[in-house]
């Protein structure tokens, strides 16, 4: 029970005792009246002032009494409860002792700050200063904790970054090995066909192609589809002699091939480069190239043999690479120069195919003189 409750109980006990035993009633002294008024004001301030330190602080406010106070609360409580057990003379003696102690501490005041009640021997400004100092200490402690957390977080981030870097694979730098075989793509292989008197597949450029780029076209599944089986939709049939026996080859032209060849034959130096043999390719091209749009023909014997594959080596054509474009349905055919390729899907019989017609605008743009290097335009890795 708190100090204020003790005084209230004391007052009520005195009233009961006086009713039971009417004696001489003591009137409260001015000191007692001032103390009661001060305590009442303090109680109102405690009820109205918001607590900054939570429920624990409020409970502490209601029960804590400063050690600096000269008032013995326990003695006061004991003296108040003694009225119920002792006679009136003992009550008068206890009241006189309390009055004497109050006189000695006449200059004491009760102040409320930060949700706490204290008795102070100084003025009411001292508790406020003490509270301000405590708030500063708490703020400093919080700031220190925050800084320590920041440093800890930074250290953890550094450790995580170091761990991530340690998990990365270290790519060894490439060191040139003088014993390693280096392939010269411009050199002709033994038995590889080439232009007469030249170390390239094509001879010197004719004056009629001056200022024109060179377009290399695949044949099978790019411009046409051929089969030894009968095809009802075949555009033409060519005889091919194989092992002293003639076989009919049924050929279907890809949609738009005639218009395509007519266009590119006008703006390019056109080369048909196929991995097929000449005894099949020559008669086929004689029928296909009605407008004489194809200027050169290269067959299997002109391919570069690389690991058992027939590669169309653009470095051996005999034209600057910056002016070379290859149109082929097989990426393996231009494995050495993918940055010069215009890919196209394999065609077999789809009559709704329009890829040749769709590629024509691109080839028209690449043929212009303002494109100095087609590789920088077609290279998908840039």
How many structural domains comprise the chain? 2
Which one of 94, 220, 289, 328 is the catalytic residue? 220
Which stretch of 85-94, 106-115, 242-251, 298-307 has the lowest confidence by average pLDDT? Answer: 106-115
Residue 341 sits in the same domain as residue 226: yes
Instruction: Name the more confident of 155 and 211.
Output: 211
Q: Name the average pLDDT for the chain.
A: 73
Beta-carbon count within 10 A of 201 CB:
25
Instruction: Name the more confident of 113 and 237.
Output: 237
CB 233 within 8 A of CB 349: yes
Sign of the four-CA dihedral 186, 191, 194, 198: positive
How far is it, in rounded angstroms, from Cα 257 to Cα 354? 10
Q: Tell me, what's the pLDDT at 71?
A: 39
Residue 91 sits in the same domain as residue 223: no
What's the Cα-to-Cα distance from 329 to each of 166, 284, 377, rounded to whole Å? 44, 19, 19
Q: Tell me, what's the pLDDT at 127?
A: 46
CB 264 within 8 A of CB 327: no
Residue 287, domain CATH:
3.40.50.1000
> Residue 343 domain-assigned?
yes
Q: Tell me, what's the pLDDT at 176?
A: 56
Beta-carbon count within 10 A of 130 CB:
14
Burial class (CB in 10 A: 0-12, 13-18, 19+), 359: middle
Q: Tell me, what's the pLDDT at 271?
A: 98
Q: What is the mean pLDDT of residues 306-333?
A: 96
> Residue 79 domain-assigned?
yes
> Residue 202 domain-assigned?
no
Residue 223 sits in the same domain as residue 366: yes
Residue 356 sits in the same domain as residue 224: yes
218 catalytically annotated: yes
How far is it, in rounded angstroms, from Cα 251 to Cα 235? 6
Q: Does the pLDDT value for residue 46 go beyond 90? A: no
Which one of 94, 150, 191, 218 is the catalytic residue? 218
Scanning the structure block, which residue is given the tokens 């014997």? 301
Domain with 326, as residue range(s), is 207-378
CB 266 within 8 A of CB 215: no
How far is it, in rounded angstroms, from Cα 89 to Cα 262? 137
Q: Does the pLDDT value for residue 183 go beyond 50? A: yes
Q: Does the pLDDT value for residue 259 go beyond 50? A: yes
Beta-carbon count within 10 A of 125 CB:
11
Domain boundary among 122, 141, 157: 122
Q: Tell me, what's the pLDDT at 142?
A: 45
Q: Does the pLDDT value for residue 277 go beyond 90? A: yes
pLDDT band at 223 (very low <50, low <70, confident <90, very high): very high
Residue 249 sits in the same domain as residue 363: yes
Q: Tell me, what's the pLDDT at 380?
A: 79
**Torsion-angle region of 308 (φ positive above 0: left; ψ -120 to 50: alpha; else: beta):** left
Domain boundary among 68, 100, 122: 122
Instruction: Name the more confident of 272 and 182.
Output: 272
Query: Residue 19 is encoded by which pair of tokens?
Result: 């009713």
Q: What is the mean pLDDT of residues 73-77?
A: 40
How far is it, in rounded angstroms, from Cα 220 to Cα 226? 7
Q: Does the pLDDT value for residue 378 go beyond 60? A: yes
Alpha helices (H) along the chain: 3-20, 30-48, 55-63, 73-82, 88-104, 125-167, 257-267, 278-288, 355-366, 374-378
Scanning the structure block, which residue is given the tokens 């009968």? 230
Residue-wise pLDDT tens digits, 344-364: 999 999 999 999 999 999 999
pLDDT band at 5 (very low <50, low <70, confident <90, very high): very low
> Residue 171 domain-assigned?
no
Q: Tell me, what's the pLDDT at 182?
A: 79
* % of the chain beyond a pLDDT of 90: 50
How far is it, in rounded angstroms, from Cα 212 to Cα 233? 36
- Closest to 263 measured CA to CA, from 363, 352, 344: 363
How far is it, in rounded angstroms, from Cα 204 to Cα 272? 17
Which stretch of 25-34, 67-76, 153-162, 213-222 has the lowest confidence by average pLDDT? Answer: 67-76
> Residue 266 domain-assigned?
yes
Instruction: Name the more confident of 218 and 136.
Output: 218
Q: Tell me, what's the pLDDT at 251?
A: 98
> Residue 197 domain-assigned?
no
Scanning the structure block, which residue is given the tokens 């407008």? 291
Domain boundary among 87, 105, 122: 122
Predicted TM-score (pTM) of this structure: 0.55
177 catalytically annotated: no
Pairing of strands 236-242, 214-217: unpaired
> Residue 82 domain-assigned?
yes
- Closest to 253 measured CA to CA, from 293, 209, 295, 284: 284
> Residue 162 domain-assigned?
no
How far is it, in rounded angstroms, from Cα 129 to Cα 45? 18
Q: Which of 47-51, 87-91, 291-295 has the highest mean pLDDT?
A: 291-295
How far is it, in rounded angstroms, from Cα 46 to Cα 43? 5
Identify the H or E element spanning 49. Answer: none
Indicate the DSSP class of residue 220. B
């Amino acid at each position: 029970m708190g100090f204020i409750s003790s005084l209230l109980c004391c007052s009520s006990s005195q009233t009961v005792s006086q009713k039971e035993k009417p004696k001489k009633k003591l009137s409260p002294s001015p000191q007692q009246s001032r103390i009661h008024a001060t305590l009442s004001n303090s109680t109102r301030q405690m009820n109205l002032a918001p607590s900054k330190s939570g429920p624990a602080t409020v409970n502490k406010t209601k029960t804590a009494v400063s050690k600096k106070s000269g008032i013995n609360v326990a003695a006061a409580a004991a003296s108040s409860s003694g009225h119920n057990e002792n006679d009136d003379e003992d009550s008068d003696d206890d009241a006189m002792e309390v009055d004497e102690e109050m006189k000695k501490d006449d200059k004491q005041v009760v102040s409320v700050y930060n949700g706490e009640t204290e008795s102070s021997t100084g003025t009411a400004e001292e508790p406020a200063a003490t509270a301000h100092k405590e708030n500063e200490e708490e703020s400093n402690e919080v700031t220190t904790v925050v800084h320590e957390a920041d440093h800890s977080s930074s250290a953890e981030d550094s450790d995580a970054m170091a761990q991530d870097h340690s998990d990365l694979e270290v790519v060894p730098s490439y060191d040139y090995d003088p014993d390693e075989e280096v392939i010269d793509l411009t050199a002709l292989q033994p038995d590889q066909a080439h232009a007469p008197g030249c170390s390239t597949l094509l001879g010197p450029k004719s004056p009629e192609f001056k200022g024109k780029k060179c377009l290399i076209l695949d044949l099978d599944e790019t411009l046409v589809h051929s089969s030894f089986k009968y095809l009802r939709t075949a555009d033409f049939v060519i005889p091919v002699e194989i092992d002293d026996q003639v076989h009919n080859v049924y050929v279907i032209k890809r949609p738009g091939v005639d218009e395509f060849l007519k266009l590119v034959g006008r703006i390019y130096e056109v080369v048909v480069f196929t991995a097929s043999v000449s005894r099949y390719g020559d008669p086929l091209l004689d029928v296909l190239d009605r407008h004489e749009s194809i200027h050169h023909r290269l067959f299997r014997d002109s391919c570069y043999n690389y690991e058992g594959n027939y590669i169309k080596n653009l470095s051996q054509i005999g034209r600057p690479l910056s002016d070379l474009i290859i149109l082929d349905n097989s990426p393996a055919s231009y494995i050495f120069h993918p940055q010069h390729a215009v890919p196209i899907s394999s065609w077999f019989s789809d009559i709704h195919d329009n890829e040749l017609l769709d590629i024509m605008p691109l080839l028209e743009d690449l043929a212009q003189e303002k494109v100095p290097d087609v590789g920088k335009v077609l290279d998908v890795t840039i």
